[in-house]
């Protein structure tokens, strides 16, 4: 009986050793479901991982361009580094690219406020290389509206009583070949043709969007791309327009892969970016309106003439086709 027992004990010891060796190499942890429940997967709240590390500010950087380059929200970057609006940074300044502890950041920012409703920022008394948002001079309202073209001989219907009619012109009217005969009311000529249509507008995220260029779509959005966005065809010198009202927060060529780049802030959540331009026509801090030309299309940082267009929400790239109108 002693020999079989010793063999049995040796078998148990060998089995235990194998199990312990296996435990030493297997590092995964399996969490059993609670009693009475089947297998399940815990759904974590949506978070935005931060890149970690730090970044040394270079000449030409803005807080917005640094946040854009690293895929984080400018408000988070400002918060991690205790930088208050208007987000002034300095060459050589070391910025943390993650919150204390390096934990991911949950996207819990307040509802966006439309940029157009904000008052221009107050100019700083210091002289940093690139404040994030320079003051914009507001044009005073004109004292009197200026009307182009001929004026009707009679005041329009519904005009206040006592409105004087303009003096009749004494300049003779010379008919133009092929033009319709002038009417007795001296009706103004038709308005000049409007710029090429870019498909109207579409409201989304508190912003009214329009197409930034007239060319055809040659590349769609793919979230895994190193430079995520869409590409619009064209030729060198074609107009590149602001996709919505906003303030220029970056105008430069310091981001690799984008060439001559413009970034426009539309509200606290949305930015749009315009890359590969041949020439930039706006400066940082300048307020722009939807449809205003801000650049000339080109091929800087690209192998062909095109516009690389992005929309970012809270620092994250989103598909612009979900915001631009149909055309």
Q: Count of CB atoms within 10 A of residue 228's CB?
A: 19
What pLDDT does residue 10 have? 55
Nearest to 315 by CA among 32, 24, 67: 67
* Planar angle of CA 58, 60, 61, nearest 5 degrees: 65
What pLDDT does residue 105 have? 53
What pLDDT does residue 199 have? 56
| Termini Cα distance of the chain | 91
Per-residue pLDDT of the chain (327 residues; tens, 9 = 90+): 444 545 555 555 444 444 434 333 332 222 233 334 333 333 333 344 556 788 999 999 999 999 999 999 999 999 999 999 989 999 999 999 999 876 655 544 554 444 443 333 433 333 354 444 444 444 444 444 443 443 344 444 444 444 444 444 444 444 444 444 444 445 555 544 444 444 599 999 999 999 999 999 999 999 888 899 999 999 999 999 999 999 999 999 999 999 999 999 999 999 999 999 999 999 999 999 999 999 999 999 999 999 999 999 999 999 999 999 998
What pLDDT does residue 327 have? 85
Q: How far apart are CA 144 and CA 161, in angstroms?
A: 19
Burial class (CB in 10 A: 0-12, 13-18, 19+), 217: middle
pTM for the predicted model, two decimal places? 0.59
Q: How far apart are CA 64 and CA 272, in angstroms?
A: 11
16 upstream amide cis, omega within 30 of 0: no
> Do 68 and 265 touch, CB atoms closer than 8 A?
no
Q: How far apart are CA 316 and CA 312, in angstroms?
A: 5
Q: Count of CB atoms within 10 A of residue 296's CB?
A: 17
């Amino acid at each position: 009986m002693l020999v079989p027992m010793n063999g049995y004990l040796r078998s148990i010891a060998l089995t235990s050793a194998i199990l312990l060796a296996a435990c030493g190499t297997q590092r995964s942890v399996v969490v059993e479901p609670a009693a009475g429940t089947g297998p399940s997967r815990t759904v974590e709240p949506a978070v935005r991982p931060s890149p970690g590390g730090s970044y040394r500010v270079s000449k030409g950087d803005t807080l917005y361009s640094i946040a854009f380059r690293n895929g984080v929200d400018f408000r988070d970057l400002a918060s991690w580094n205790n930088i208050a609006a208007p987000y002034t940074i300095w060459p050589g300044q070391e910025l943390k690219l993650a919150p204390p502890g390096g934990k991911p950041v949950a996207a819990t920012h307040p509802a966006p406020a439309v940029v157009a409703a904000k008052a221009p920022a107050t100019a700083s008394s210091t002289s940093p290389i690139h404040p994030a948002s320079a003051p914009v001079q507001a044009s005073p309202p004109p004292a009197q509206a200026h009307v182009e073209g001929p004026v009707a001989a009679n005041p329009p219907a519904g005009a206040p009583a006592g409105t004087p009619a303009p003096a009749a012109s004494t300049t003779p009217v010379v008919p133009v070949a092929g033009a319709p005969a002038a009417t007795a009311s001296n009706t103004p000529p038709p308005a000049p043709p409007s710029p090429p249509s870019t498909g109207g507008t579409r409201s989304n995220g508190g912003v009214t969007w329009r197409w930034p260029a007239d060319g055809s779509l040659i590349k769609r959005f793919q979230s895994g791309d190193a430079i995520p966005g869409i590409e619009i065809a064209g030729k060198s010198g074609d107009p590149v327009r602001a996709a919505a009202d906003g303030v220029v927060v970056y105008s430069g060529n310091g981001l690799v892969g984008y060439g001559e780049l413009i970034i426009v802030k539309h509200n606290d959540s949305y930015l749009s970016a315009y890359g590969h331009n041949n020439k930039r026509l706006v400066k940082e801090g300048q307020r722009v309106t939807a449809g205003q030309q801000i650049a000339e299309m080109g091929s800087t940082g690209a192998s062909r003439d095109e516009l690389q267009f992005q929309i970012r929400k809270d620092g994250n790239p989103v598909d612009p086709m979900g915001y631009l109108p149909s055309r």
